[in-house]
Every structure is written in structure tokens, then in C-alpha cells.
């Protein structure tokens, strides 16, 4: 529920788990959004709001990022991918409410993002799913109304693009974090779903074609705890192993 759980192979052949906090993954999504908008790729809509919304969209996880729960069946730290709907809703709500310090438009974008996640999940028709969606279908209109009372020139196309940009950078970051990527992959970039081809090379270098940033290259990283891949009794058992903080680095460069 709390972290990205990434399998990791140690040099001696033992298996380990790399636990990446959700808030750290979100910071990576914000880093990837920096300097965006080269060539045919659209720059961030209202970057003074959309960039911090991307960076902070998972801040609701911060209180629990530090104490990963253990799945009683697998006896491993619980991945966010297996988060029960009700737990996710409480965390998402903290993210949405916390974004008020940025802007009501940030609240709108983050709420729309989480609503889309729920609408496309298996629990969309559950009682918890329906309750969450009904609540934020109403609240999002208020967020947008407050934003547009200050920024009346925010068009429907801009709003749609801003939501798409948050979701794109969230997925780009997750794609990097969830596994050791060795095969080329194409990401679809809004607003026109333009293809962005990422080709992993050695030492964390990734060729990128076409080049979407306004700088010559992009060096990004995430941090997380490396823990043994073993049975855990409870959260305290995991916490005792969370002493080895490591970083993953990537250097994105234009394809030669």
C-alpha cells in the first residue's frame, strides 16, 4: 500500500526488494516535467500550478511511506498496486486537500487524476469506489470554479491537457521505478498522443527520440531502501531492515 516494491538482484545472487516511497516517485515525475516542451511537445499548461501539482500529487502518502505494512499472505511489504480501495481513498484525499496550498486548480488536477484511476480499476463499482467518485465529481467543479474566477482564460483544451500532463509524468516516473528497463518502450504524450521512444542503454543511459526537453540532457534519480527479500512479521520487522538507502540514476539523452 505504501511503496513501490521493485525486485532487485544483489551481486552475490541473493534477491532483495527496493522500496521506493510514493512521494519520492512523485518528485521524479516533477523532475521529468522540468524543462519540458521542445519541438512539437507542448509545454506545461500554467506551469506555476501544474508543475508543483505533478511534483506533490502523492504527498498524501508521506505519513505512511515511512512505515510499510506487511501483506499477511505474502509476508512482504505491500505495494501501492495492491492497496485496498478504502485505504487509497483516504490517502488520495490527503493529497487533494493538501494541494490547496498550491491552488484550487492543483486540487482539481489531482482529484481528476485519482478519479480516473478509480474509474478504470476493478473496484470502480464497489461501494467505496462509488462513494469516492460521487464525492469528487461534486468537489472538482468547485475547485475549477474557484480557479476560473481568477483565471477566466483557462480553456477547456488547457484543462484537458493539464490533466493529461499530470497523468503522463506520473506514468513516466512509474515506468522507470517499477522495474529495471532493458527493452525500448514507447510512451504516448498528450495532447495528441505523440509517440516518445525510450531506448535503455548501459549505465542508466536512455536514448530518447524525439527530444522533448529544452535542455541538452536530463539526469534524474530516485532513492529508496534496499531490504532483504524475506518473510516479514510486521511493519516493525520491515523498519529494522530499512537502513540501506540507495539511489537509482538515469541519464536521458537525444538518440544519436
DSSP 38-55: -TTSPPPSSHHHHHHHHH
231 has pLDDT over 60:
yes
Identify the CA nearest to 21 among candidates 254, 249, 246, 184: 246
Q: Give the per-residue pLDDT at 148.
A: 87
Q: Give the per-residue pLDDT at 121.
A: 84
Q: Which three cell numbers stand for residue 119?
A: 474509474
pLDDT over 70 percentage in the chain: 99
> Sheet holding 15-21: strands in order across?
3-9, 15-21, 218-228, 245-254, 205-209, 194-200, 185-189
| Cα–Cα–Cα angle for 84, 86, 91, rounded to 5 degrees | 95
Q: Give the per-residue pLDDT at 2.
A: 52
Per-residue pLDDT tens digits for 110-154: 999 999 999 988 888 888 889 999 999 999 999 999 988 887 677
Which residues lie closer than 8 Å to 256 by C-beta, 6 or more apart?
207
Q: Give the per-residue pLDDT at 10.
A: 84
1 has pLDDT over 50:
no
**Residue that is written with C-alpha cell 487509497 in the block:** 88
198 has pLDDT over 90:
yes
How far is CA 14 from its chain centroid?
29
Per-residue pLDDT tens digits for 61-84: 888 788 888 999 999 998 887 778
Q: Taking the model in full, what pTM does it have?
A: 0.94
Amino acid at each position: 500500500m505504501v511503496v513501490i516494491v521493485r525486485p532487485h538482484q544483489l551481486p552475490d545472487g541473493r534477491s532483495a526488494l527496493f522500496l521506493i516511497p510514493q512521494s519520492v516517485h512523485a518528485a521524479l515525475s516533477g523532475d521529468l516535467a522540468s524543462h519540458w516542451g521542445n519541438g512539437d511537445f507542448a509545454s506545461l499548461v500554467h506551469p506555476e500550478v501544474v508543475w508543483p501539482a505533478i511534483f506533490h500529487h502523492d504527498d498524501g502518502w508521506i505519513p505512511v511511506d515511512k512505515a510499510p505494512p506487511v501483506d499477511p499472505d505474502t509476508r512482504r511489504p505491500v505495494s501501492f498496486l495492491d492497496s485496498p480501495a478504502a485505504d487509497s481513498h483516504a490517502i488520495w484525499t490527503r493529497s487533494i486537500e493538501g494541494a490547496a496550498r498550491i491552488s484550487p486548480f492543483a486540487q482539481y488536477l489531482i482529484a481528476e487524476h485519482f478519479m480516473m484511476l478509480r474509474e478504470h480499476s476493478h473496484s470502480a463499482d464497489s461501494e467505496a469506489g462509488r462513494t469516492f467518485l460521487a464525492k469528487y465529481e461534486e468537489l472538482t467543479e468547485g475547485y475549477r470554479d474557484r480557479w476560473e474566477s481568477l483565471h477566466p482564460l483557462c480553456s477547456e483544451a488547457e484543462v484537458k491537457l493539464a490533466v493529461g500532463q499530470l497523468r503522463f509524468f506520473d506514468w513516466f516516473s512509474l515506468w522507470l521505478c517499477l522495474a529495471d528497463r532493458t527493452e525500448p518502450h514507447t510512451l504516448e504524450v498528450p495532447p495528441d498522443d505523440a509517440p516518445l521512444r525510450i531506448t535503455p542503454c548501459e549505465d542508466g543511459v536512455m536514448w530518447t527520440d524525439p527530444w522533448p526537453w529544452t535542455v541538452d540532457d536530463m539526469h534524474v534519480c530516485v532513492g529508496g531502501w534496499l531490504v532483504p527479500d524475506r518473510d516479514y512479521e510486521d511493519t516493525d520487522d520491515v523498519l529494522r531492515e530499512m537502513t540501506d538507502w540507495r539511489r537509482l540514476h538515469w541519464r536521458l539523452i537525444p538518440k544519436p
